[in-house]
Amino acid sequence: MTPRRAIVLLSGGLDSSTCLAVARRDGYRTVALTVDYGQRHRAELEAARRIAQALSAEAHRVVAVDLRALGGSALTSDAVDVPKGRDDAEIGTGIPVTYVPARNTVLLAVATAAAEAEEADAVYVGVNALDFSGYPDCRPEFLDAFREVARVGTRRGVEGRPIEFRAPLLHLTKAGIARLALETGVPVGLTLSCYDPPSARAGSSVVHCGRCDACRLRRRGFAEAGLADPTTYAE
């Protein structure tokens, strides 16, 4: 029996890379899908390419959707600074300026289209409801709502073959994600989580700033898991 196919949204970060490894472990043939939405941390596009290759994705698709034209986020506008040096209490309060308006809605819509075009049975996404920096589109109720949208708004859905939406990291802490990444063979040193990586400016190897929210959550995850962190941080 031919293994089923899954679309995996892959940014090149720790979470999405772990999702790709989990999808392979689950027995799926994987197509990695990276969305170039005009993000300031464009080094993640190259990280995604490396991860897709390292984890033997069947294919790696890159789709351009220009959210920079809309702005509204520190990740899509050079006029807004990426917050750095925030403590855990600040990170866990409110919705930060790194929230990109409706980004996960857009990304999941693109992944749904890819799943229909590729005749894939599942979409994997690395949303997380615990260490989620306050983003509203990382919560279980958002994912449940999108499942219903896809069920009623796609050919597969109305034909009774709905696409499965899998979020294997949804209820894991960052420590749990770090453990799962190593268990499933993710080459963690190749992943890039940083919102403002020095490598994006200097053209160097994978280096994280060490001070943005994403870096702080990543560092904390490895520390709480009691695992060596292979990440290079500038600070």
Please report the pLDDT score of residue 148 as a whole number.
97
Question: Does 235 map to a domain?
Answer: no
Question: Does 15 map to a domain?
Answer: yes
- Domain count within the chain: 1
- The rounded percent of the chain whose pLDDT value lies above 70 is 95
Using DSSP's 3-state secondary structure scheme, residue 205 falls into coil
Strand residues in the chain grouped as ranges (E) = 5-9, 29-36, 59-64, 122-124, 164-166
Question: Does 166 map to a domain?
Answer: yes
Domain that holds residue 165: 5-225
Using DSSP's 3-state secondary structure scheme, residue 123 falls into strand
Question: Does 24 map to a domain?
Answer: yes
Q: How confident is the model at residue 93 (pLDDT cuts 50, 70, 90)?
A: confident
Distance (Å, whole) CA 235 – CA 224: 19
| Model confidence at 187: pLDDT above 80 | yes
**Cα angle 3, 144, 128; round to 5:** 80
Please report the pLDDT score of residue 202 as a whole number.
41
Question: Does 231 map to a domain?
Answer: no
Whether 188 and 197 have beta carbons less than 8 Å apart is answered as no
- The rounded percent of the chain whose pLDDT value lies above 90 is 87
Instruction: Give me the DSSP letters along 218-232.
Output: HHHHHHHHT------
Condensed to tens digits (0 to 9), the pLDDT of residues 172-181 reads 999 999 999 9
Distance (Å, whole) CA 229 – CA 99: 26
Question: Does 232 map to a domain?
Answer: no
C-alpha radius of gyration, the chain, whole number: 17
Please report the pLDDT score of residue 199 as a whole number.
60
Using DSSP's 3-state secondary structure scheme, residue 175 falls into helix
Please report the pLDDT score of residue 87 as a whole number.
85
Mean pLDDT of the chain: 93
Whether 37 and 65 have beta carbons less than 8 Å apart is answered as yes
- CATH code for the domain of 81: 3.40.50.620
Condensed to tens digits (0 to 9), the pLDDT of residues 126-169 reads 999 876 567 899 999 999 999 999 999 999 999 999 999 999 99
Whether 212 and 84 have beta carbons less than 8 Å apart is answered as yes
Residue 176 phi, psi dihedral angles, 5° rounding: -65, -40
Question: Does 145 map to a domain?
Answer: yes
